A and B are shown apart, each in its own frame.
Chain A
Amino acid sequence: MTYAIEIRDLKKRYDGGFEALKGVDLCVEKGDFFALLGPNGAGKSTTIGILCSLVNKSSGQVSIFGTDIDQDFAKAKKHLGVVPQEFNFNVFETVFNVVVTQAGFYGISRSVAEARAEKYLKQLGLWSKKDAQSRMLSGGMKRRLMIARALIHEPDVLILDEPTAGVDIELRRSMWEFIKKLNEQGTTIILTTHYLEEAEQLCRNIAIISAGEIVENTSVKALLKTLNQETFILDLDNPVPTDWSIEGFNVSIGQDGASLEVDVMKGQSINLVFRALDAMSINVVSMRNKSNRLEELFVKLIKG
């Protein structure tokens, strides 16, 4: 089977002796929406840097769409589009030139590049800014510009390194809608993010890297199934007395008396809680998770 990305025993030791990657094995299937998560300094950016040739690997094998980067990196790079964490375009160039120039680096003719630039700048809401110097754009626009630039050679794999850092909620949502559409059209998406709810909502598969090693690599669904306990917050229509309990559940009452925190263990049904509350004539008006489920697992895995 040919993977979109196939990494075998990848190691990276920096000049100062720091071992950033200690033998990473990772496969991303074609068409996947894949999350690579990990705390700061875990090795995410090093892994991505090696994939897009900004970091030299110490050892190991990396293939992009079946092309080994040691055999033909130029061919492998054509499959890859990268949206880095930091703005890295020439801030004195116009928006249009940033995108069209990047196409030139991929050997794409000017006429094709201009047509594609128009298409992607329009899709990302930047067409009205095409003649503006890129330094004049807002933070969110700069991020979208980097996405347009990464797509100009229509790559099979798009790597997004913290693309929504510092982006407001509305823009983040529209960005994800755009990326989801790309994925539906067949582009493999690899995402790193600190917003774990994004990874939970968007990604099918996930790998968690910690201290240069992959500590988990599975589907998001399978990972969430490993949760032993979830805490739900139930908002009530009226405050309730404090001297009561529900058998089999740990229930605590919020400071305002009008909300409950209920711990539900794996295998338990939350229906029992509702039945008990109903019997006591306590009405629940809304319910939510106390914390992001993936976040709980993430912290657990990282702590090891």
Chain B
Amino acid sequence: MKNSEIWIAFYTILVREIRRYTRIWPQTLLPPAITMTLYFAIFGNLIGERIGEMGGFSYMQYIVPGLIMMSVITNSYSNVSSSFFSAKFQHSVQELLVSPTPNWVILLGYTLGGVSRGLCVGLTVTLLSLFFTHMALESLFLTIIVVCLTSVMFALGGFVNAIYARSFDDVSIVPTFILTPLTYLGGVFYSIDLLPDFWQSVSMLNPVLYMVNAFRYGVLGVSDINVYWALVIVCVFIVVLFSFSLRLLNQGKGIRS
């Protein structure tokens, strides 16, 4: 395919993905907005006032970056996993497979579709948080870089999940039993300084901790970990997941006999 044709194919996949989640916005965009508003109201306002400060900020200010990242991670992941698995389930993925669209374009289209939903929800949650607290911004550049890279990483994770999934249960198992615990234990609600040494060390094995803290550093300027390490880790994960996903696509894993 010529470059212009590749661009059209990529744009088509991306637009189709965006059209999909905006068409079903009560299932995709509204729930995270409601959930996060409840988090802000209950954890931030009601309970947060009794907790006091954390990392030199009010508890509400401390958890806002974590909650934004939580929604970005969850939505980037679930958009790709559910969309690609649905395409497999309905066999509509064959529309792409019979076309000359290169596999890397398919992967990029689905990934950026997931990223767009993650960022859309992240922005919505950010705007909602402004009703509850004042948001500082330490580094706009770092904030954007971290949120985008994290979103890409989890969108790719969702793609791998969708490739291996054989039922809708398989699509929900990873977010429920792996992603949610990792996110809750990834420093969204607390600083790992509060944990005993052993659990601090265990927490350092959680990749979500690095992303949440790097994002919090971009917003508030405080972090439990070295931000540059966080960026390196996310980039390594992206390269590994992209290569792995592309390999699976080239092999036709789960989509070709």
Contacts and interface: CB of A to CB of B under 8 A. Distances in A.
Interface of A: 14, 46, 49, 52-56, 73-75, 77-78, 80, 82, 84, 86-92, 97, 101-102, 104-110, 149
A107 B5 CA distance: 4
Given A92-B23, A107-B1, A82 B98 contact: yes
22 contacts: A46-B257, A52-B98, A53-B98, A53-B256, A55-B256, A74-B100, A74-B102, A75-B100, A77-B99, A89-B92, A89-B95, A90-B92, A90-B95, A101-B12, A102-B95, A104-B9, A105-B99, A106-B99, A106-B101, A107-B5, A107-B100, A108-B8
A109 B6 CA distance: 11
A90 B90 contact: yes
Given A104-B12, A105-B101, A91 B257 contact: no
Interface of B: 1-2, 4-6, 8-9, 11-13, 16, 19-20, 23, 87, 90-92, 94-102, 252, 256-257
Contact of B98 (A80, A92, A104): A80
Contacts of A73: 100
A302 B255 CA distance: 31
A73 B252 CA distance: 14
**Residue of B98, B256, B257 ringed by the most chain A CB atoms within 10 A:** B98
A94 B75 CA distance: 25
Contacts of A56: 252, 256-257
A108 B5 CA distance: 7
A74 B1 contact: yes
A78 B100 contact: yes
Nearest to A72: B100
B11 A104 contact: yes
User: A52, A80, A82, A90 — which one has the most chain B CB atoms within 10 A of its CB?
Assistant: A90
A54 B8 contact: no
Contacts of B87: 90
A110 B15 CA distance: 12
B16 A101 contact: yes
A221 to B, nearest CB: 33
A102 B96 CA distance: 8
B116 to A, nearest CB: 17
A14 B252 CA distance: 13
A77 B102 CA distance: 11
Contacts of B94: 54, 84, 88
Contacts of A54: 94, 97-98, 256-257
Given A84-B91, A105-B96, A108-B5, 11 more contacts: A14-B257, A53-B97, A55-B257, A56-B252, A75-B100, A90-B95, A92-B20, A104-B9, A105-B12, A107-B6, A107-B8
Nearest to B91: A88
Contact of B90 (A77, A78, A91, A105): A91
Nearest to B10: A104
A262 to B, nearest CB: 48
A107 B2 contact: yes
A87 B5 CA distance: 26
A149 B256 CA distance: 21
B167 to A, nearest CB: 19
B100 A109 contact: no
A107 B8 CA distance: 5
Contacts of B1: 74, 107
Contacts of B99: 77, 102, 105-106
Contacts of A91: 90
A275 B127 CA distance: 95
Interface hub of B23, B94, B99, B252 (most chain A Cβ within 10 A): B99
B147 to A, nearest CB: 28
Nearest to B3: A107
Nearest to A109: B8
Contacts of B90: 88-91
Nearest to B5: A107
Contacts of B256: 53-56
